Chain A
Amino acid sequence: MTTELTAPSVTRTIDARGSYCPGPLMELIRAIREGEPGGVIAVWSTDAGSRIDIPKWVEKAGHRLAAINSQDGYDEIVVEQRR
């Protein structure tokens, strides 16, 4: 299944496949800390929890969930940095 919102072009990809919760979320947080508003970060995760944890965090932290794409054996979660 692909949840496609308005997906902007990805400016940074984090390959967190094989990492367990909260690894993918922590990798995203690190990228947000290093990034700038307007950046678009794609997180690749094989951990099923990321589909739940990352959107919740994105909402709380005031960023935008752009897409959740089911790829071959992993999820791609695309986040637009808002601040």
Chain B
Amino acid sequence: MERVVIVGGGVGGTLAANLLVRRLRSRIRRGELTVTVVDDRGDHVYQPGFMYIALGNEAPEHLVRPERSLLDRDVRLEIGRATRIDEAKQLVELASGERLAYDQLVLATGSRIAPDEIEHFAAEAHHFYGADAAQRLRKALDAFGGGRIVVGIAGMPYKCPPAPLEVTFLIEAELRKRGLRERSEVHYCSPIGRAFTIETVSEMATPILAEKQIELHTFFNVESIDPQARTVSSLEGESLPYDLLVLVPPHHGAQFLIDSGLAPAPGGWLPTEPDSLLVKGRTNMYAIGDATDLPLSKAGSTAHFEAPVVAERVAAAALGREPHPIKGTYTGRVVCFFEVGDGKGTLLRFDYEHPPRPPRPNRMWHLGKLAFNRLYWHTVPKGRV
């Protein structure tokens, strides 16, 4: 009996499992192979929707579905929290004490936020990396009657690189709509020397920031918050006063990957081969999505395009053949929408070799993103797009 274990029931883990059983169904049904997804909650969460709880009338209940409902019936689901990988014995240990043996392992364990690493974050700053946090931000925006809004980033890398810029654009548009813009300042703080990591996207976004009179602060790596003075300070020595503070919290990979000696602290990102998605130095262990240390967006889209590569390679190994040279090679492909406010958006399409050339923002890409948010459940996890 051959055992494939996939840890993580997000975009990457779910899609990889579903694609894998399509290739290996007859072996699974003959009892020769199992594909098991391990997920700590048993719920699948559509995280790109969080931003719209704060800024788009999205309801939290629309963003969660039972993981079981998205998995092929030939995939086993184990609900439990992975606490350690024992590489020598090829075991995944769970908090319950249960141990799952594997022959091939896929780590799709995502990233976790760590707002507590910045003192006073919880009391002073808002974020949109969870349904509850996004609801709190919505309430704070409802109560906002004008003043200084500062949006910043308290750690790189973080999930969905365009998100803080998108949130800034959406907040600015909302302030105009509510007649509060004249009484407000909007500041966007970027940790690097331009508005966005990818140069072509930065070139697209910077004039929009200027046009909307959003003040751009570059090389602003959030270091501390002073709740008395109501200022946020950077490592570089700059301080900005705020009335409403929105910060991307620090992110890390799963702690148990650090504890298992697979991912270095403090980041916790798995050293990953860029083409094969094998964890470096391993032949039967893959990484997908946010969990990797690849220089790509930590985003569902990345996992979406990585999962088929891992499924092909795992299936090939199980069937004793070579992986298909194209289907089994990841090219760094990522496709994601980018909101710029006022009902407009654009699209970022890129890979390792080709930076994005975002089209001029228009209504179509904004509507495309809204449609994708609804269609996601019927398409991506099931491998239909």
Interface string of A46-63 (1 = CB under 8 A from B): 000000110011001110
- Segment from B7-15, B49-57, B190-198, B361-369 that makes contact with A: B190-198
**Cβ-based interface call for B377 (8 A):** no
In the complex, how many angstroms separate the beta carbon of A74 from the nearest chain B beta carbon? 16
Q: Quick one: which of A42-83 are within 8 Å of B by CB?
A: 52-53, 56-57, 60-62, 83
Nearest-Cβ distance from residue B154 to partner chain A, whole angstroms: 12
Asked if B219 CB lies within 8 Å of chain A CBs, one says: yes
Q: How far is the CB of A58 from chain B (nearest CB, A)?
A: 10
Q: How many residues of A contact B (CB 8 A)?
A: 18
B255 within 8 A of A: no
> How many pairs of A and B residues are in contact by the CB < 8 Å rule?
36
Contact between B236 and A62 (Cβ–Cβ < 8 Å)? Answer: yes
Count residues of B near A (Cβ-Cβ below 8 Å).
12
Chain B nearest CB: distance from A61 CB in Å? 4
Bound-complex Cα distance A56 to B221 (A): 14
How far does the alpha carbon of A62 sit from the alpha carbon of B191 in the complex, in Å? Answer: 15
- A61, B295: Cβ atoms under 8 Å? no
Please report the C-alpha to C-alpha distance between residue A29 and residue B250 in the assembled complex, in whole angstroms.
Answer: 14
Q: Whose C-beta in chain A lies nearest to the C-beta of B156?
A: A26
Q: Are A53 and B236 in contact (CB-based, < 8 A)?
A: no
Nearest A residue (CB) for B198: A21
Q: Quick one: closest B residue to A61, CB to CB?
A: B236
Task: Give bound CA distance, A24 to B193, whole Å.
Answer: 13
Assess the A32–B197 pair: CB atoms within 8 A: no
Q: Chain B binding site: helix, strand, loop or mixed by DSSP?
A: loop
**Nearest Cβ in chain A — how far from B275, in angstroms?**
13
A58 to B102, CA, bound (A): 47
Does A61 lie within 8 Å of B197, measured CB to CB?
no
B237 and A61 within 8 A (CB):
yes
What A residues does B221 contact at CB under 8 A? 29
Residues B236 and A21 in contact, CB atoms below 8 Å apart: no
With both chains docked as a complex, state the minimum distance between the C-beta of A20 and any C-beta of chain B, in angstroms.
4
A16 nearest CB across to chain B (Å): 11
* Contacting pair B192 A19 (CB below 8 A): no
With contacts A32-B235, A61-B236 taken as known, whether A22 is within 8 angstroms of B219 at the C-beta atoms is: no
Chain B residue, CB-CB nearest to A63: B236
| B residues at A contact (CB < 8 Å) | 156-157, 191-193, 197, 219, 221, 235-237, 295
Residues of chain A at the chain B interface (Cβ within 8 Å) = 19-23, 25-26, 29, 32-33, 52-53, 56-57, 60-62, 83
